[in-house]
Chains A and B, each alone.
Chain A
């Protein structure tokens, strides 16, 4: 659960950011902070559960990159 709850928090954050009226650059930075916070929370959780430091670091980067990609997908657009 330690691993999954940060994801849920992250999705809630993404949902809130998408529906909140904020300047674009503020949204961008909040999104970046939330992505890497989740990646860090997940890596720390796995480390606490016994994962080696090396794998935890790798998990931090891999999860961060995948979530960055995931959040950037929302920016994709068709131009009519």
Chain B
């Protein structure tokens, strides 16, 4: 068995080293920034370096603000989607930039270059929030502790995001403040009285599109404040926030504006709504009617080839996604049922007044598919009436996620993965076996031809750093392709070209004058007509371009927030729109030559992205993990079953966490129950992790609270363990084989032991239902010979999580000690002699064979759990406890995946709190509680 495990380990290490080869990190150092990237993002890295220095100079001139410390920028593509974030530490500010560019219908699509917009937005966050305090003692504390530093830098979300959005727009002339789509959306919401109140501006109120309002409304409110009170007045708020006098945002704001932010926001909303209502007076009445209203959000609507059904990607309030196939015909059964209900109502009470007939009923749902492991679903396309292709995210070998094609056979509700690591987004069928798709690979958008059977990819139109493609759509004849292309000079434009000579000839569709937003092209089934959505002057419209006559007509505006043109159904043109209450399908009756003729304008180069060759001067060097950021840490442990202790220490790491370390001490200052210390060092790179943990402790067990009975009165020990781990992961599983050495000295004996271990976890999550398992197993030999097997099961039934755990530890000659809480000074790895149980005193029981079982449940994963737990040693019942507890990785809970790049002092915080009733034969049943807040490497 030992040989088999060793073989597995060696194979795992070898495969991991192959996978990691070529992924080494590089760094560009400029006077004010360090840009870290992998070789595949070299072009992004050099362009980012140039752009960051340019932006810094620009902001310094405009605002007289800059950061005096070096800013780290990490370039990544973890989810194959556009995003980025900033962590505004005052001594180690960091930004993370995702390279995938946005699609044409996103709010962030209005830019000259995604790189420019992203770099500017994140830099503004840092220069805005990372300013050091002018209170010397406060700043000294910020420098000392990363948690305090980041918490002090925080501002209300609408302020931080609104200001970065305002500046991104002012400095580029583009961005979300000047984005036509965003403006149309807000005006439509204003006309419904649906703009968010001040109290919901930060995180929304759960309503449709509410989470985007911190950016969209925040930026407009701040722009309104600047216009009304002057730029200097708003700027003074930021100066007042870092003053010697302690001020929060509200007092810094009201002190200079003379009114609270809430009062001024209400006035802003009133004025914005008034303008939106005035514009409504000028609008032509809408010629459309409601076809179907979705329960919440929907996108990616596609009619099937025979138009008897349509598919939609639906998202509910809890962000659960599903792919639904609806019948196209009206739901007569729902209407009949409604009428019957009203009739029954009147039969019961003839004086009652029945409900008004709704404008539409939800159509019959014919089939639905729920994505697995939150892989998302987007851009569905019909292959035939029974088969749909769609895009979903998958894990790659590096742990990143990438978009791939899936085929869903509707009749047997089975989905299979079609492509591997393609990075596909929107696509269109050329024939039964080939598609043309927009692909984003390493941040470069391109149009490719992909064969579904042979998996071959042929480049059609190559992308560059500042261009992007979107919405390839094939016409009815299968000869011409319409697609969107974004360039710094022209923005988004619709191109039409024969598919056999895409590079050689293409026609640019003329757009209405002053068009700023264009998306969603759709061919007429038979006629030589292309429909699309375009925006100008704060409104959106559906346009029809006749390629035979070269005439462009506006079919409908009417204040709609058009999202997608769906196509013709029974002489009506269907479109998807956003309302303040969710997504809605509407229908428009359009004779061929209806609509207003529109004056068009062929695109001309209006702006040009500055070319800067300074990239050549930046030195690219291998990433240096030796550049360490450090922080002081504090810990607090307390348990009514044992005793409390306090901890002080230091921790440090580089940006990518290749080298992490911590040293510190734990003490019970009042009664010397515990004296302990620890020194951990972790190195990880290229798929490997090496962790050395040194710990020392001295426990005076007779000083535990309430003089708990234990088998010993004093115990002291030091131990050192060294563990080498590697990992492999797939869509649903993760495997971490490890090998380790452990030396432990108790009284005068030094024990050596070694282990081969394996951690395996599996998760199948269909949002409402989930099933997961994990196995942590190790074979230990040496003086602590034995084994350790931890089995865990997890199920989610109708959103209700259930967790089962069992622990089996055995030693042939050494002893296992049960009781006490987790603390850095006491080793608890694979070959540990201690079995933690915070509800029991340290060293409550000793034996050779430990068995533990636990059942837990909660209302939501990651929240406090109700549990029942049972301990057995050497086949004897020791204790049983039940109660509530909350154990979590605090950094991940607060910062999400940004925790992996967070400053050392906030990247590994742990919380363990609980209250339980403990039963044992050794003492009377009693309630026990515990609390632990500490920093674990």
A3 to B645, CA, bound (A): 12
Residues of B with C-beta under 8 A to A11: 886, 913, 931
Complex Cα–Cα for A66 and B931 (A): 12
Which residues from A are CB-within-8-Å of B670? 46, 51, 55, 59
Closest chain A residue to B200, Cβ basis? A21
How many angstroms from the CA of A7 to the CA of B930 in the assembled complex? 9
A63 contacts across to B, CB distance below 8 A: 636
Q: Which residues of B contact A76 (CB under 8 A)?
A: 147, 150-151, 154, 894-895, 906
Which residues from 656 to 675 on chain B have a C-beta closer than 8 Å to any C-beta of chain A? 669-670
Contacts of B250 in A (CB 8 A): 24-25
Q: Do most interface residues of chain B lie in helix, strand or loop, or is the interface mixed?
A: mixed
**A77 contacts chain B at the CB level, 8 A cutoff:** yes
Say whether B771 faces chain A, with CB atoms less than 8 Å apart: no
Q: Which residues from chain A contact B915 at a C-beta distance below 8 Å? A: 8
Q: Does A33 contact B (CB under 8 A)?
A: no
Are A78 and B929 within 8 A (Cβ)? no
Write out, one digit per residue, whether chain A residues 33-68 have a CB within 8 A of any chain B CB (1) or not (0): 000000000000010000100010011001101110
Taken together as a complex, chains A and B put the C-alpha atoms of A35 and B9 apart, in Å, by 48
Q: Is the CB of A69 within 8 A of B634?
A: yes
**Cα–Cα distance between A76 and B906 once the two chains are bound (Å):** 9
B888-937 contacts to A, CB under 8 A, are: 890, 894-896, 898, 906, 909, 913, 915, 927-931, 933
Q: Which residues of B contact A73 (CB under 8 A)?
A: 147, 151, 890, 894, 906, 909
Closest chain B CB from A46 CB (angstroms): 7
> How many Å from the CB of A57 to the closest CB on chain B?
12
Answer yes or no: B294 CB below 8 A from chain A CBs: no
Tell me how far the C-beta of A65 lies from the nearest C-beta in chain B, rounded to whole angstroms. 7
Number of residues on chain A facing chain B (CB within 8 A):
32
Distance of A45 from chain B, by nearest CB (Å): 11
Interface residues as binary, B69-99 with A (CB distance below 8 Å gives 1, 0 otherwise) = 0000000000000011111100000000000
- Chain A 1-29 interface residues, beta-carbon cutoff 8 Å to B: 1, 3-5, 7-8, 11, 21, 24-25, 28
Q: If the complex has contacts A58-B669, A79-B85, A79-B125, are A3 and B638 also in contact, measured as CB distance less than 8 A?
A: yes
Report if B653 contacts A (CB, 8 A): no
Q: Are B199 and A78 in contact, with the CB atoms below 8 A?
A: no
Which B residues lie within 8 Å of A72 (CB)? 147-148, 151-152
Cα distance A21–B931 in the bound complex, in angstroms: 27
Q: Is B867 positioned at the interface, with any CB of A under 8 Å from its CB?
A: no
A55 neighbours in B (Cβ, 8 Å): 669-670
Give the docked Cα–Cα distance between A25 and B600 (Å). 54
Is B156 in contact with chain A by the CB < 8 A criterion? Answer: yes
Of B125, B147, B896, B898, which one neighbours A69 at CB under 8 angstroms? B147
B88 & A4 in contact (Cβ 8 Å cutoff): no
> Are A78 and B86 in contact, with the CB atoms below 8 A?
yes
A66 touches B636 (CB 8 A): yes
Say yes or no for B129: interface residue by CB 8 A criterion.
Answer: yes
Do B895 and A79 touch across chains, with their CB atoms under 8 A apart?
no
Q: Please tell me if the beta carbons of A66 and B894 are within 8 angstroms of each other in the complex.
A: no
Within 8 Å by CB of A4, from B150, B669, B930, lies: B930
B640 cross-chain contacts in A, Cβ below 8 A: 1, 3-4
Evaluate contact between B636 and A78: CB separation under 8 angstroms.
Answer: no
CB distance A70 to B933 under 8 Å?
Answer: yes
Query: A31 to nearest B CB, angstroms?
Result: 12
A sample of 15 inter-chain contacts (CB < 8 A) reads A1-B640, A1-B928, A4-B930, A5-B929, A7-B638, A21-B199, A25-B250, A55-B670, A73-B894, A73-B909, A76-B147, A77-B150, A77-B894, A80-B84, A80-B161
Contacts A8-B929, A11-B913, A72-B151 aside, 13 further interface pairs with beta carbons under 8 A come to: A1-B927, A21-B199, A24-B156, A46-B670, A55-B669, A69-B145, A69-B148, A70-B636, A70-B933, A72-B147, A77-B160, A77-B895, A79-B160
